[in-house]
Amino acid sequence: MTKLDPTEFCEAILRSEIAYNTENNVVPSESAVAERLLGRRIEMIPVYTELHRKLAPDEQAIRVFLSVILSATFWDLEAIAEARGARARLEEVNAEIADTAAELVQLLREREKLHNQSGFYSNTEYHPLNLIDRAGEDVYLYKSYVRELLKAMRTYDLKYWPRIADCIAVLGRDAEDAEIEASDEITEAATNASRKGLADYLKAIFAAIETRRQGLPILLPLDFKLSDASFAALVNCSLDLGADDGVGADFVKGVRQRERARNGAGA
């Protein structure tokens, strides 16, 4: 471990992250978090000291942990609100797809009936393979590898294939029955509560830490656990919360207990 004291060492990491981000014009939001931590040095000194005590001499582990805090900016309260909104909109879109598909199925079946009984024909597609082939016209891999195989399937009469309306009906049922799931553990942790708040941000940090314990190489020790007080300081400083808006160790402890009860694990 470097001979710098814990605060100097951790702040050097933060400054190097800011310099790299600035030079490469990337993730300014992470630099903003690093600036907040640097600006609230007094509150962060106990955190740096605890990190040093629990992770030294593994400098890389300290870097990894600080990177988690910086990247948590992607799950601040505004980002979490946007994610919740996106989930709600996805549910709405699926419902709209189901309704629209049902209407389209009725129209397709009515058109088929008119074709068969009215004495008129609109020369529209009636075979599902025709639709696939037309949709794949601009897909190079389809034309190179799949098209000829599908053409060979045309030897089967139309009675062997579902109608286009039936395919659309399945599309609608698929949307209607869809269950919305988060694409990763951090998104799930940040958005699974019925009420939004600072606990969501803290849970996102916990989930991000857990991802650094999984797979190989393990980037954070399995037995590493930061104190409730240090996590409270990290939340307050990274989000630049004042005394009236900030959280304390008891808040962190409560979130941890609820997370353990929910999934049997905690950060």
Q: For 52-90, what is each residue's pLDDT tens digit?
A: 999 988 899 999 999 999 998 888 888 999 999 999 999
Angle at which helix 198-211 crosses helix 59-71, to 10 degrees, equals: 140
pLDDT mean over 10-30: 96
Cis ω before 217 (30° cut-off from 0): yes
Instruction: Decide: residue 203, CB within 10 A, 0-12 exposed, 13-18 middle, 19+ buried.
Output: buried
Please tell me the pTM assigned to this model: 0.79
Question: How far is C-alpha 43 from the chain's CA centre?
Answer: 30
Select the highest-mean-pLDDT range: 89-93, 189-193, 196-200: 89-93
Decide if pLDDT at 226 tops 80: yes
Alpha-carbon span 244 to 201, nearest angstrom: 18
Q: Residue 266: what pLDDT?
A: 45
Q: Residue 260: what pLDDT?
A: 85
Sequential DSSP letters for the chain: --SS-HHHHHHHHHHHHHHHHHHHT--HHHHHHHHHHHHTHHHHHHHHHHHHHHHTT-HHHHHHHHHHHHHGGGGSHHHHHHHHHHHHHHHHHHHHHHHHHHHHHHHHHHHHHHHHHSS--------HHHHHHHHTTT-HHIIIIIHHHHHHHTTS-GGGS--HHHHHHHHHHHHHT-----SSHHHHHHH-SSS-SHHHHHHHHHHHHHHTTSSSS-SS-TT----HHHHHHHHHHHTT--TTT---HHHHHHHHHHHHHHHS---
Cis ω before 221 (30° cut-off from 0): no
Q: Which residues contact 97 (CB under 8 A, 6 or more apart)?
A: 171, 172, 175
Decide if pLDDT at 267 tops 60: no
Alpha-carbon span 120 to 11, nearest angstrom: 78
Q: What are phi and psi of 28, to 5 degrees?
A: -60, -25
Q: Which of 145-154, 158-167, 200-209, 213-222 has the lowest mean pLDDT?
A: 213-222
Alpha-carbon span 48 to 35, nearest angstrom: 15
